[in-house]
Amino acid sequence: MRRALVLTLTLLVLALPLASSAQEDEAPTPPADELTVVTPYPAVAVEPGDQVTFDLTISAPERTEVDLAAEGVPEGWSASFRGGGFQLDSVMTSPEVPAEVEFSVSVPAEAEEATVPITITADSGSDSAELRLRLRISAAAGGEVTMEPDFPGLRSPAGETAQFDVTLRNDTPADLQFELDASGPAGWRVEARPASEEGATTLAVDAGSSETIRVEATSPSQAEAGQYPITVVARAADTEVSTELVVEVVGSFALDLSTADQRLNADVTVGSSSDLSLLVVNSGTAPLTGVTMSATPPSGWDVSFDRTELEPVPPGETAVVTATITPSEDAVAGDYVITFSASGEEAEDSIEVRTTVTPSAIWGILGIALIALTLAGLAWVFRRFGRR
């Protein structure tokens, strides 16, 4: 029993400091014992013609109304206190909820470079406080808006889309809403939009931050190989920035194989050869190189070409190739299929030609001779034995 009592007293002694510490942690921060007005950035640089805004925090040891005033604002300048969407002359503040106020100063465009001190006064009747601000007027203080592409030049085949990412940076003290525009050569489809939004043509960029513009440039399918300029423009109020992009079109590759008369059939005779004219057409926008001719004939047949390797075929041009078809000596009358192919380094095409085989003329002559001999034999038999 005595041991249990000692253990209980020991636990109570150990718990007292912990409880005291917890109470200290939960205790509210004691209120300020005087009226104060503060801002995180009391000295700033501003460009002539711009506006600068200070975020003010006003606190007092008790709930009270505080009158606000600004001293030292030069003649011709405008300054105001704002909060809750209103222009303010005074605010209510308390230890629990300090008042948050914006103090804005508009600097005339003709203001000369100098350092201008302005004093903010806060007066509750029983207490007062001051905050000294400094505005350094400088033509270079306003910052600038810049536009920089990740890659200023891209390579793309004709008819396909080149995609650029362009960084738009707003280093001015004001939030800006930009209108986006992009243009390219005639016949091109060019679009500039925020990278995060489909179909949007405007882009909001906060002061001191940046956003990404997505630029898509699609060339015509028949665009010739070469370099083409793309211009991107962003406009906001009196600010306009632009950048130049380049799309290098490497040309499109397309090959069409056909016959000279556009018919996919031919006639051949056993025992002889027949010629077939083939057309290799470059229907793309870039030269075709390394084009070779080949054929897949029936077993025992022979197909040869007057040239199996072609010189480079320019865009829109046609190369004529003659194929010589020799059927097998054992071929019987009927239809056969021969596959002709034209294969280049960049494109290829093939066609199937239905080839009709007719017997050799020699067999026809032999057949006629055989018929003639048969008829002659019958005539001789009738003359010799007809009277009997």
Q: To the nearest whole percent, how much of the chain has pLDDT over 90?
A: 65
**Residue 134, token pair as written in the block:** 């400094």
Q: How far is 26 from 31, CA to CA, in rounded Å?
A: 15
The three-state secondary structure class of 14 is helix
Place of tokens 């390219």: 184
Q: How far is 147 from 124, CA to CA, in rounded Å?
A: 49
Q: With contact defined as beta carbons under 8 Å apart, do 36 and 130 qualify?
A: no
Whole-number pLDDT of residue 258: 96
Whole-number pLDDT of residue 1: 46
What CATH number is given for 255-362 in this structure? 2.60.40.10
pLDDT < 50 regions, the chain: 1-2, 4-31
Q: How far is 68 from 54, CA to CA, in rounded Å?
A: 14
Q: Could you tell me which residues come within 8 angstroms of residue 23 by beta carbon, excluding any fewer than 6 positions away?
A: none
Q: How far is 330 from 312, CA to CA, in rounded Å?
A: 39
The three-state secondary structure class of 234 is strand
The correct answer on CATH 2.60.40.10 for the domain covering 145-249 is: yes
Whole-number pLDDT of residue 142: 67
255-362 shares the fold of 145-249: yes
Domain boundaries, the chain: 36-137, 145-249, 255-362
What CATH number is given for 36-137 in this structure? 2.60.40.10
Place of tokens 């002659």: 376
Whole-number pLDDT of residue 7: 46
Q: Could you tell me which residues come within 8 angstroms of residue 320 by beta carbon, excluding any fewer than 6 positions away?
A: 260, 277, 278, 279, 280
Q: Where are the beta strands (DSSP E) in 252-382?
A: 255-259, 265-269, 274-282, 292-296, 302-305, 318-326, 334-343, 348-358
Q: How far is 47 from 72, CA to CA, in rounded Å?
A: 18
